[in-house]
Amino acid sequence: MSTPKAYSYLRFSTPEQMKGDSFRRQAALAEAYAIQHRLELDRDLTFRDLGVSAFRGKNAETGRLGDFRQAVADGLVPAGSFLLVESLDRISRQAARKAIRVLEDIVDQGVTVVTLNDGRAYDKGALDNDPMALLIALLTFIRANEESAMKSRRLRAAWEGKRQRATSGVGMTARCPSWLRLDPVSRQYVPIPQRAEVVARIFQMASDGIGLHGIAATLNTECIPTFGDTTRKAEFWNRSYVAKIIESPAVIGTFVPHTVDYTGGTKRRVPDKPIEGYFPSIVDIALHGQVRLARLNCRAPSTRTANRETASMLAGLAGCPLCGATMTRVSKGAKGGKPRLTCVRAKKGACGGASVPQPEVEDALIYWADSLARVPSGGSEWEEAYFDCKQRIIGLDRLIASATSELIETQSPAVRDRLRKLEAERAEAVTQLKALEARAIAAGPGLQRAAHQLRDALRSQPLNRLSVNGLLRQMFDAVTVDAEEAELRFFWKHGVEQALPLDVKLTPPLAPGYPTPLADAARRLLSRQGRS
* 220 domain-assigned: yes
Residues 15 and 141 reside in one and the same domain: yes
Domain extent, residue 204, equals 180-296
* 308 domain residue, yes or no: no
Burial 341-376 (b: 16+ CB within 10 A, else e): bbbbbbeeeebebbbbebebbbbbbbbbbeebbebe
Instruction: Give the amino acid at 234.
Output: A
**Residue 461 burial (CB count, 10 A):** 9
Q: Quick one: pLDDT at residue 262?
A: 55
CATH classification at residue 122? 3.40.50.1390
The count of residues in the chain is 532
Rg value, the chain, Cα = 33
What are the tens digits of pLDDT across the range 417-434? Answer: 888 888 888 888 888 877
Strand bridging mode 318-319 / 327-330: unpaired
Q: How many domains does the chain have?
A: 4
What span, in angstroms and rounded, lies between the C-alpha atoms of 399 and 423?
10
Amino acid 393: pLDDT: 83
Distance of CA 56 to the CA centre of its chain: 24
Q: Which helix (H) or strand (E) holds 48?
A: strand 47-50
Q: Provide the edge-to-edge strand list for the sheet that holds 318-319.
A: 318-319, 476-482, 487-492, 497-501
pTM above 0.85, yes or no: no
Cα–Cα distance measured from residue 286 to residue 441, given in angstroms and rounded to the nearest whole number:
9
Q: How far is 77 from 464, CA to CA, in rounded Å? A: 70
Helices of type H across 174-284: 193-207, 212-221, 239-247
Which residue, among 181, 182, 217, 219, has the nearest Cα to 200 in the 3D structure?
219
Beta bridge partners of 189: 182
Q: Are 345 and 331 in contact (CB under 8 A)?
A: no
With 0-12 / 13-18 / 19 or more C-beta atoms within 10 angstroms meaning exposed / middle / buried, residue 387 is exposed
Asked whether residue 19 falls in the same domain as residue 104, the answer is yes
Q: Residue 306: inside a domain, yes or no?
A: no
- Round to whole Å and give the CA distance between 300 and 483: 27
**Residues 46 and 7 sit within 8 Å (Cβ to Cβ):** yes
DSSP state of 333: S
Count Cβ atoms below 10 Å from residue 248 Cβ, excluding itself: 19
**Within a domain: residue 312?**
no
> Do 184 and 227 lie in a common domain?
yes
Instruction: Measure CA 397 to chain center.
Output: 23
Indicate whether 136 and 202 sit together in one domain. Answer: no
386 and 372 co-located in one domain: no
Q: Which has the closest alpha carbon to 53: 35, 36, 65?
A: 65
State whether 467 and 367 are in the same domain. yes
- As beta bridge partners, residue 478 has 491
Residue 172 within a domain = no
| Identity of residue 212 | L
- Give residue 21's identity as a one-letter amino acid code: D
Give me the helix-helix angle, 445-459 and 516-528, nearest 10°.
70
| Residue 155 maps to a domain | no
Which CATH number covers residue 241? 3.90.1750
User: Same structural domain for residues 218 and 117?
Assistant: no
Letter for the amino acid at 505? K
Residue 160 lies in a domain: no
- Residues 57, 132 within the same domain: yes
Give domain status of residue 175, yes or no: no
Query: Among residues 442, 460, 483, which one ends one of the domains?
Result: 442
- Give the three-state DSSP class for 446: helix
Q: Which residues face 490 on adjacent strands?
A: 479, 498
Which spans in 167-284 are helix H? 193-207, 212-221, 239-247
Do 198 and 217 fall within a single domain? yes
Same domain, 433 and 369: no
Cα 292 → chain centroid: 15
- Are 391 and 495 within one domain? no
The number of beta carbons lying within 10 Å of the beta carbon of residue 325 is 17
Q: Distance of alpha carbon 151 from its chain centroid, rounded?
A: 28
Residues of the chain with pLDDT under 50: 12-20, 49-57, 60-63, 299-308, 334-335, 506-516, 531-532
Q: Where are the beta strands (DSSP E) in 262-322?
A: 268-271, 318-319
Asked if 456 and 427 sit in the same domain, the reply is: no
Instruction: List CB contacts of 368: < 8 A, sequence separation 6 or more.
Output: 488, 500, 504
Last residue of a domain, one of 442, 459, 484: 442
Q: Which of 131, 149, 167 is the last residue of a domain?
A: 149
Per DSSP, the three-state class of 225 is coil
**Opening angle at CA 43, ends 41 and 45, nearest 5:** 105
**Cβ neighbours, 10 Å, residue 460:** 14
User: In angstroms, rounded to a whole number, what is the distance separating the alpha carbons of residues 411 and 510?
Assistant: 78
Q: Quick one: pLDDT at residue 195? A: 92
